Amino acid sequence: MFIPVNSPLLDGNEKQYLAECIASGWISSEGPYVRRFEAEFAASVHRKYGIAVSSGSGALDIAVAALRLGPGDEVIMPSFTIISCAQAVVRAGATPVLVDSDPESWNMDSSRVAGRITERTKAVMAVHIYGLTVDMENILDVADRHGLHVIEDTAQAIGQTCNGRPCGSFGNLSIFSFYTNKHITTGEGGMVVTDDDELAERCRSLRDLCFQKGKRFFHEELGWNYRMTNLQAAVGCAQLERLAAHVSRKREIGARYTELLGGLPVQLPLASTRSSDNIYWVYGLVLQDEVTMDTDEVMARLADRNIGTRPFFWPMHEQPVFQKLGLFKGESLPVAERLARRGFYLPSGLALKDKEIEYVAGALRQILS
């Protein structure tokens, strides 16, 4: 039997809430579960407003547009992340300015942010990676001293805390993804959260084609149809009720892998940093230099044993699409480059069984021995 890299857990009130949507006929974005999910999720991260959208990538587009970032502006962000982050900035006409990763936590090295600030810098995008957090204390201090906006990308850190505060509670805007591999899933979906009245209203407008109150089909600005459906939000409400259990299970999975993989020539994820305890959004590994196989070969050998894996993110400064646009010429960010070339992650979805963890760990131990 194949063990996928992710398998969601839908063992709460999902069926009941979906049945209510179908029975009522409210299946579009106008349904009551959307408002409920927005309110309950925002409260869970100590935010005033939640704006539900169709994806995490859409949430990034809206966050960048809501802050009116555009041509001539620079946004400092990690190179080691998913392309959605840089894509949102580039499509707005602004310029991503990249920072290398910390080699231990794999997150953006916050100590390097101040050195990347110029007179054109308008914002910092802090992206929590793989279950640990960016040092938000340092990010907020730098942003405050230089008058910069902060976008917190919490797509991979649902249920996580940083220095005792919920991830998603930092900065001007925070964004979330509810893709199937997240700790809360709606299949596809996302959320923007904020405490700012004006930004919240602007995000609502941008996700809904910038329709105007009183003059619906009269548009002064271009937006998107990034609405979340009532069906998705119903699943989200049920998932939110189970978040604490989901985080607990992820930590059990992470701890078990760490126990079983000790002594192998790989860098295992940190259990904690000074700002957070790992919630193991994924369980990642980085091959040590002594391993002569590359990640492609190791992943292929695991696939031969019916085990799904995924490579780590490829750095933004090495993405062909951005190089064609003339971005990041001559840049070298060695930590991000090493993570991309030597890192991959194992199955760690919420529905993963203990016997499957043991099988995966045993297979990897055989391959690397």
Instruction: Identify any residues that bridge with 345 across adjacent strands, giving them in sequence order.
Output: 284, 310
Q: Are strands 149-153 and 173-177 parallel, antiparallel or unpaired?
A: parallel
pLDDT at 62: 98
Please count the other Cβ atoms lying within 10 Å of the Cβ belonging to residue 12. 17
pTM: 0.96
Q: Using alpha carbons only, give the angle 186, 303, 318 rounded to the nearest 5 degrees.
A: 70
**215 confidence band (pLDDT: 50, 70, 90):** confident
- Rounded to whole angstroms, the Cα distance separating 240 from 244 reads 8
Tell me the per-residue pLDDT of 58-114, one tens digit each, with 9 for 90 and over.
Answer: 999 999 999 999 999 999 999 999 999 999 999 999 999 999 999 999 999 999 999
pLDDT at 214: 84
Instruction: Identify any residues that bridge with 125 across adjacent strands, giving them in sequence order.
Output: 151
pLDDT at 41: 98
**3-class secondary structure for the chain?**
CCECCCCCCCCCCHHHHHHHHHHHCCCCCCCHHHHHHHHHHHHHCCCCEEEEECCHHHHHHHHHHHCCCCCCCEEEEECCCCHHHHHHHHHCCCEEEEECECCCCCCECHHHCHHHCCCCEEEEEEECCECECCCHHHHHHHHHHHCCEEEEECCCCCCCEECCEECCCCCCEEEEECECCCCCCCECCEEEEECCHHHHHHHHHHHECCCECCECCCCCCCCCECECCHHHHHHHHHHHHCHHHHHHHHHHHHHHHHHHHCCCCEECCCCECCCCECCCCCEEEEECCCCCCCHHHHHHHHHHCCECCEECCCCHHHCHHHHHCCCCCCCCCHHHHHHHHHEEEECCCCCCCHHHHHHHHHHHHHHHC
pLDDT at 213: 84
166 token code pair: 């919920």
**369 confidence band (pLDDT: 50, 70, 90):** confident
pLDDT at 16: 98
Query: Percentage of the chain with pLDDT > 70?
Result: 100
Contact 116, 76 (CB under 8 A): yes
Tell me the per-residue pLDDT of 294-348, one tens digit each, with 9 for 90 and over.
Answer: 999 999 999 999 999 999 999 999 999 999 999 999 999 999 999 999 999 999 9
- Rounded to whole angstroms, the Cα distance separating 76 from 1 reads 44
Contact 4, 346 (CB under 8 A): no
Inform me whether the pLDDT recorded for 239 exceeds 90: yes
- Rounded to whole angstroms, the Cα distance separating 169 from 152 reads 8
Tell me the per-residue pLDDT of 125-174, one tens digit each, with 9 for 90 and over.
Answer: 999 999 999 999 999 999 999 999 999 999 999 999 999 999 999 999 99
**45 confidence band (pLDDT: 50, 70, 90):** very high
| Four-residue CA torsion sign, 285, 291, 297, 303 | negative
Closest CA to 65 of 192, 219, 215: 192
pLDDT at 124: 98
Closest CA to 312 of 323, 299, 325, 330: 299
| Domains of the chain as residue ranges with CATH | 14-241 (3.40.640.10), 243-368 (3.90.1150.10)
Inform me whether the pLDDT recorded for 212 exceeds 90: no
322 Cα distance to chain centroid = 21
Dihedral of the alpha carbons of 255, 310, 235, 277, in degrees to the nearest 10 = 30
